[in-house]
């Protein structure tokens, strides 16, 4: 099935004074996809989404909705777009009145309005009994659902989300992440979602765009971003990693601080730079002949991370991280570490 572009950005810039908050972003979002924009605080995510929604205009470049340029079309003149924001609920209204509000504005008669609002509550996984409940009596998670139900009542083609779950506790956040993905699938709407948490992005997204300092530095499916980050920045943004400075020497990568040489990762160009290894890809050498260089150190700390254990190993003035399943046998405190070349990433520096 051919996928249709719903929203396109062409070389979009946004300047505040002479500082670019968003720089040369080009992007095509496909109808019905869950696209997440992730990046650290200050990377330009909100600035970008404000332009997509129509709350701000680009300094340069174009935004196209189904092929038509919409740069200067204000938010309320873009019937296809809606922001989901629980803070924007009307506190003096009931759940039902909140959800039915956009329908009322469109002049839909009360009977049809109520039926449609109830359908939206159901879509947002809220019981229809909530219709008459004051919104002030709803919990944080329920308010998020009410806000989502109201956004769905607009029946927009695209729903925009700017860090809607960041204020919620961990368990509720995890639950709502999965529900949002389900709701997106059930409704077939295009979701454009912003978060600073790549972990959150991984759960929900069909594709992820990673932002850094106003630029879109990588776009890909979650698995692609995880397995093939295209820069040190993206690989470090994924979570804690081991970073070994290396110099290219005779077909190998030499790490001077640890006095060991490693194989060049398959497919990588031999270069000076950093070799990056995820903690779960570090292994303790258990007698078997290692296929790569070996790092010797002392375990000085261990942490329980749910079903896994993280060991901190001091080696040659640096701290290395190793993660194992909790039920695996306890390693020797005098640790010998290695990793497979295919589990390492090399970035020039
Ligand atoms: P994020 O949402 O990723 O945290 P923002 O888009 O809010 O990032 O901000 C990106 C950069 O643009 C920041 O350096 C911020 O200070 C700056 N910025 C955002 N809005 C304005 C504004 N209205 N005026 C001046 N600078 C702004
Ligand atoms: Mg922001």
Which atom of ligand 1 is least distant from the CA of 163?
2
Give residue limits of the domains in the chain.
5-234, 241-348
Residue numbers in the chain where pLDDT is lower than 70: 1-2, 86
Which atom of ligand 1 is least distant from the CA of 17?
25
Report the predicted TM-score, pTM, of the whole model to 2 decimal places. Answer: 0.89
Give the Cα separation of 252 and 165 in Å (integer).
45
Query: In the prediction, which pLDDT does 136 show?
Result: 94
- pLDDT tens readout for residues 235-285: 999 889 999 999 999 999 999 999 999 999 999 999 999 999 999 999 999
Query: In the prediction, which pLDDT does 140 show?
Result: 87
List all residues 6 or more positions away from 142 whose beta carbon is below 8 Å from its beta carbon.
Answer: 126, 130
Q: Architecture of domain 5-234 in CATH?
A: 3-Layer(aba) Sandwich (3.40)
Q: Which of 169, 160, 163 is nearest to 140 (CA)?
A: 169
List all residues 6 or more positions away from 90 whose beta carbon is below 8 Å from its beta carbon.
Answer: 97, 98, 101, 135
Which atom of ligand 1 is least distant from the CA of 43?
3
* Alpha carbon nearest to ligand 1 atom 13, residue: 42
**What distance in angstroms lies between residue 159's CA and the mean position of ligand 1's atoms?**
22
Give the Cα separation of 305 and 300 in Å (integer).
16
Query: In the prediction, which pLDDT does 306 show?
Result: 85
Q: Which residue from 44, 197, 214 has its CB within 8 A of the most atoms of ligand 1, so it is best to mutate?
A: 44
Q: Strand 190-195 and strand 34-38: pairing?
A: parallel
**What distance in angstroms lies between residue 37's CA and the mean position of ligand 2's atoms?**
11
**What distance in angstroms lies between residue 62's CA and the mean position of ligand 2's atoms?**
21
Which atom of ligand 1 is least distant from the CA of 194?
2
Query: In the prediction, which pLDDT does 2 show?
Result: 59
3-state class (DSSP) for residue 142? helix
**What distance in angstroms lies between residue 70's CA and the mean position of ligand 1's atoms?**
22
Long-range contacts of 246-252 (CB under 8 A, 24+ apart): 246/272, 246/273, 246/274, 246/275, 246/346, 247/272, 248/272
Q: Which residue from 25, 47, 210, 237 has its CB within 8 A of the most atoms of ligand 1, so it is best to mutate?
A: 47
Ligand 1 shell residues, CB under 6 Å: 16, 21, 39, 41-47
Given a contact cutoff of 8 angstroms between Cβ atoms, the answer to whether 10 and 62 are in contact is: yes
């Amino acid at each position: 099935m051919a996928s249709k572009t719903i929203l396109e950005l062409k070389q979009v810039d946004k300047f505040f004074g002479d500082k670019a908050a968003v720089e040369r972003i080009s992007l095509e979002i496909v109808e019905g996809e869950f696209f997440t924009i992730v990046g650290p605080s200050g990377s330009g995510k909100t600035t970008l989404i404000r332009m997509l929604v129509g709350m701000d205009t680009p300094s340069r470049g174009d935004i196209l909705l189904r092929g038509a340029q919409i740069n200067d079309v204000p938010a309320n003149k873009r019937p296809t777009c809606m922001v989901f924001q629980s803070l924007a609920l009307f506190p003096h209204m009931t759940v039902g009145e909140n959800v039915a509000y956009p329908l009322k504005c469109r002049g839909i008669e009360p009977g049809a309005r109520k039926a449609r609002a109830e359908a939206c509550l159901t879509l947002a996984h809220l019981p229809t009994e909530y219709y008459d409940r004051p919104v002030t009596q709803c919990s944080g998670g329920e308010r998020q659902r009410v806000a989502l139900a109201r956004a769905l009542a607009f029946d927009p083609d695209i729903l925009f989300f700017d860090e809607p779950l960041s204020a919620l506790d961990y368990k509720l956040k995890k639950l709502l992440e999965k529900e949002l993905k389900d709701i997106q699938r059930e409704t077939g709407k295009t979701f454009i979602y912003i978060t600073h948490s790549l972990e959150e992005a991984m759960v929900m997204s069909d594709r992820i765009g990673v932002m850094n300092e106003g630029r879109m530095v990588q776009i890909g499916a979650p698995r692609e971003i995880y397995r093939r980050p295209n820069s040190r920045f993206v690989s470090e943004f994924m979570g804690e990693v081991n970073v070994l400075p290396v110099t290219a020497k005779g077909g190998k990568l030499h790490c001077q601080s640890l006095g060991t040489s490693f194989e060049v990762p398959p497919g990588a160009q031999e270069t000076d730079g950093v070799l990056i290894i995820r903690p779960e890809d570090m292994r303790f050498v258990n007698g078997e002949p290692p296929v790569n260089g070996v790092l010797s150190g002392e375990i000085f700390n261990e942490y329980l991370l749910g079903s896994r254990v993280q060991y901190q190993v001091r080696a040659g003035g640096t701290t290395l991280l190793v993660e194992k399943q909790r039920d695996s046998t306890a390693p020797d405190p005098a640790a010998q570490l290695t990793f497979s070349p295919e589990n390492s990433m090399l970035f020039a520096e």
